[in-house]
């Protein structure tokens, strides 16, 4: 079997179909191990330390990484808010902080407000760096768990149609997922968003270059009966430089029971969470709602990544 040959994970473009298969295979093994309580991997990283360095708020990403490391027997160094409670508040550069953390930990999981920061940290680091979100740039591990959830729902990803809805301009999750979808064939993507937060041209051009069909749409109702997956996103107030633009976009696209009734019988609804009002709570009862399962899959994907980066051994 091919070795897992990545030293760091900072962007979705690093992955090819073989690496994705390796990660999903290991994630399946980790999932089965936990669900069946076998505990075969509960000590595989017992001598390893992960630094959890988050400069922006996080719930699912941070806690799933820390849970993943604990479930593999490793130790964790963490802070509630690295932007405020680390030397960054004194003016220390990301480069210096990364170099220092390399002496304390075997792997660094980093969330930062600046796009490209994780790649900068990786270039300075002597230990693996995982991008846990870099501003409006990318969130590759979220894209991996998203793809894992889609694959689990449909068995195959080839031939699917996906609607990405909401804040596509500042949404790092949809950007990262778009890159990964180019590894599959006969994919169609509908970009449904307010005009102030359309998907940027760099992603559209990348999709075109990789033979992925895409289309901008204003109407969610038009797209609902057409697609296999609805990927809802939050309109991110904190990313908008102009409050008026945020107000014009907020609340424009909402899935409630009536909207869900327009969807295909076997289609699915996803959301990277947190949600505000994009999906009604009544929809949670719909078997096609997969966003909590999606969040749960983050544990298995991140266990797989920690294992692969720290052991370089896909044959588990």
In this predicted structure, what is the pLDDT of residue 85?
46
The average pLDDT across 180-207 equals 94
pLDDT at 260 over 50: yes
Model confidence pLDDT, tens digit, residues 70-109? 999 999 998 776 555 455 555 678 899 899 999 999 999 9
111 Cβ contact list (under 8 Å, min separation 6):
53, 54, 55, 56, 58, 61, 62, 132, 133, 134
Residues classed as catalytic: 60-61, 90, 111, 139
Ordered by where they begin, the domains of the chain are 12-138+298-311 (3.40.50.1370), 140-294 (3.40.50.1370)
Are 137 and 115 within 8 A, CB to CB?
yes
Q: Which long-range contacts (CB under 8 A, 24 or more apart) does 85-94 make?
A: 86/53, 88/55, 94/120, 94/121, 94/124
Distances (CA, A) of 147 to 24, 162, 190, 220, 297: 9, 11, 16, 22, 10
Model confidence pLDDT, tens digit, residues 151-180? 999 989 999 999 999 889 888 899 999 999
In this predicted structure, what is the pLDDT of residue 74?
98
Model confidence pLDDT, tens digit, residues 29-41? 999 999 988 889 9
In this predicted structure, what is the pLDDT of residue 135?
84
What percentage of the chain carries pLDDT values higher than 70?
90
What's the start-to-end Cα distance of the chain, in Å? 11
Strand partners, 52: 78, 109
- Rounded Cα–Cα distance for residues 147 and 263 (Å): 20
Torsions phi, psi of 109, nearest 5?
-105, 120
Residue environment code for 198-210, b if the CB has 16+ CB neighbours within 10 A, otherwise e: ebeeebbebbeee
Are 109 and 50 within 8 A, CB to CB?
yes
Mean pLDDT for the chain overall? 90
109 SS3 class: strand
Model confidence pLDDT, tens digit, residues 198-217? 899 999 999 999 999 999 99
């Amino acid at each position: 079997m091919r070795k897992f040959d990545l030293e760091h994970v900072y962007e979705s473009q690093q992955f090819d179909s073989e690496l994705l298969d390796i990660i999903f295979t290991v994630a399946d093994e980790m999932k089965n191990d936990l669900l069946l309580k076998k505990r075969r991997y509960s000590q595989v990283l017992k001598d390893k330390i992960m630094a959890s360095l988050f400069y922006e708020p996080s719930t699912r990403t941070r806690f799933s990484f820390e849970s993943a490391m604990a479930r593999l027997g490793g130790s964790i160094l963490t802070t509630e808010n690295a932007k405020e409670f680390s030397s960054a508040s004194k003016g220390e550069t990301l480069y210096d902080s990364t170099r220092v953390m390399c002496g304390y930990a075997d792997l660094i999981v980093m969330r930062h407000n600046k796009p490209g920061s994780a790649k900068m940290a990786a270039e300075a680091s002597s230990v693996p760096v995982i991008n846990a979100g870099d501003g409006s740039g990318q969130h590759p591990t979220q894209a991996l768990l998203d793809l894992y959830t889609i694959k689990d729902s449909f068995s195959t990803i080839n031939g699917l149609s996906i609607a990405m809805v909401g804040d596509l301009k500042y949404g790092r999750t949809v950007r990262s997922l778009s890159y990964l979808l180019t590894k599959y064939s006969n994919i169609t993507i509908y970009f449904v968003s307010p005009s102030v937060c359309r998907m940027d041209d760099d992603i559209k051009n990348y999709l075109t270059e990789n033979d992925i069909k895409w289309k901008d749409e204003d109407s969610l109702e038009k797209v609902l009966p057409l697609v296999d997956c609805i990927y809802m996103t939050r309109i991110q107030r904190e990313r908008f430089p102009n409050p008026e633009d945020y107000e014009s976009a907020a609340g424009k696209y909402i899935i409630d029971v009536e909207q869900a009734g327009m969807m295909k019988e076997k289609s699915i609804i996803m959301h990277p969470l947190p949600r505000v009002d994009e999906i009604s709570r009544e929809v949670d009862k719909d078997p096609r709602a997969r966003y909590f399962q999606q969040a749960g899959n983050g544990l298995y994907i991140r266990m797989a990544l920690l294992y692969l980066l720290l052991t370089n051994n896909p044959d588990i």
